[in-house]
Amino acid sequence: MTRHSLTTGPTRRTVLMGFGAGLTVMAMPGALRAQSGPTVLRFGLSTFPPSIKPWDNTGAAANTVKLMLNRGLTGYNNASELVPELAESWDWESDTSIVFKLKPGARFHNGEQVTSGDVKWSLEKILEPGSSSFLRRDLSMINGIEVIDDLTLRVTLSSPSAVMLDLFANFNCPIIWSGSQGEDYIGCGPFKMKSQERGVYIELERNDDFVEAGTPKVEGIRFIVYADENLRYAALEAGDVDIIEYLPWSQFDTVDASDKLKMAASLGPYMFLLFNVTQGPFADPRVRRAVGFAIERQDIVDAAFAGRGEPLFSFPNPQGSPFDLSDPEHEWSYDPDRAKALLAEAGYPNGFDCRLLATATYGMHQDTASVVQAYLAMIGINATLDLPDWATRVTAGTEGRYDLCVHGTSGYYNDPDSIASLLHSANPSYLQSFGFKSDRIDSLLDQGRAETDPDKRTAIYQELNTVYFEEVPQVPLNWRVQAYAMSNRIQGFASFPGFLNGASTYSLDETTLG
């Protein structure tokens, strides 16, 4: 990074220019329509998964595919309620001991029965030293897995956990056949891999031995990749796919008015900024805090999400959380004068140059980055945009090849603990600010997870809200309404609320084509 003199930049009046008009949607050919049978659901995917390794997290598209191939001990029904999945039941013997009974009808895609030994092997693969598993830190409180018989096991914890059953429902905690070799992972989800062409499509076929009798309702799913969101919507409109993820916000009104299409939407995921804190200005929390005060969040909602969202000024306590964490003293309101004062205090009165990483794969990321870039220019921070494809974006985030970056994601259940994976330093990933570590935040996250008393948990998360503002592990920007759009032929698909929105594809088990 280099400093530069403050020059005349954009004003707030110019920030939204260029965002008002949507792109012209091109019609897609009907060739893909003819490739799938009448009971094969055609799903418009936003990107080809960088990886579908069962325990790694490489983005929402990958999670959707993985959830069709794999399942865990617990899951969610169409009402977004936590329910047994491979487990038939569980019994808390104590605050730190759970006994699971497995469903006797659960089978892997090779016909082998799901046993307690497979559960033990899978959890130990997640926990093994050096593992890249996304939930390694979250599940590290497991200190014992005892096979009682083929269908019964005991899991013991080093401390109580308020969220252990939610973690077992995560995309990245599936049970895999213990005989799997290399990277040929054999799951027990509702569908099996049929064929794929990298970058183009993934086709799955129904697993007739799926543990839930009578599901899935369709014979297969063909995931077809449309990296351009406007082409993805055009494919839906033309009938080339039946359902798409990430309906472009500019098309919400069009779908609302359509007699052929409908959508399922909820407010849940959020957008935020991450920082490389290992060097340069962003190593100073005052500079990161200045960024928080520099941005008018409503303009991001309007420009990137067509008004479908809400500004987010502080710790991202999810919709549906049982805790009230509101605290006006620790919020990033729009205050450019305060932002400039913080920059001067940190030694950057004339600003500096930096690199702002986002991705061209998702228009919401690119548009958010453009608004952020414009507002940073107003306080003297000259941010050059870097907009690679999604896979490159993930790698760059993992390796810290950025100064600050735009990201958007969701937790996995409606509890403040759900964003521990975005903040706790024990398991760094592209979802976190590169090099950031806070003993205070780590300790509070650990305390909140281990505490089961609601009043005590409230006090812990209120303190976490304060520390989040002071140390700035990320800068929150806005909640976004996220929608799946689909043909009226689709029945049974549900959009889950809050942080559970990303788990909505559990409902594909019950989805039918009318």
Contact 230, 26 (CB under 8 A): yes
pLDDT tens digit string along 254-295? 999 999 999 999 998 999 999 999 999 999 999 999 999 999
Per residue in 159-183, is it b (16+ CB within 10 Å) or e — as a string? ebbbbbbbbbbbbbbbbbbbebeee
How confident is the model over 380-437, as pLDDT tens digits? 999 999 999 999 999 999 999 999 999 998 888 999 999 998 999 987 899 999 999 9
CB-based contact 358:319 (threshold 8 Å): no
What's the longest Cα–Cα distance across the chain?
72
Minimal CA–CA distance to 420: which of 70, 120, 170? 170
Separation between Cα atoms, residue 175 and residue 329, nearest integer Å: 44
| SS3 assignment, position 339 | helix
- pTM (global) more than 0.85: no
pLDDT digits (tens, 9 = 90+) for 25-78: 333 334 344 444 459 999 999 999 999 999 998 888 999 999 999 999 999 999
Q: Which residue has the tokens 């140059």?
A: 353
Q: Is CATH 3.40.228.10 correct for 31-69+186-266+481-513?
A: no
Q: Are 484 and 233 in contact (CB under 8 A)?
A: no
Q: Yes or no: is domain 74-168 CATH 3.30.1490.100? A: no
Domain ranges of the chain: 12-20+268-480, 31-69+186-266+481-513, 74-168
- What fold does the segment set 12-20+268-480 form as a domain? Dipeptide-binding Protein; domain 3 (3.10.105)
Distance, CA of 386 to chain centre: 21
CA distance 328 to 310: 16
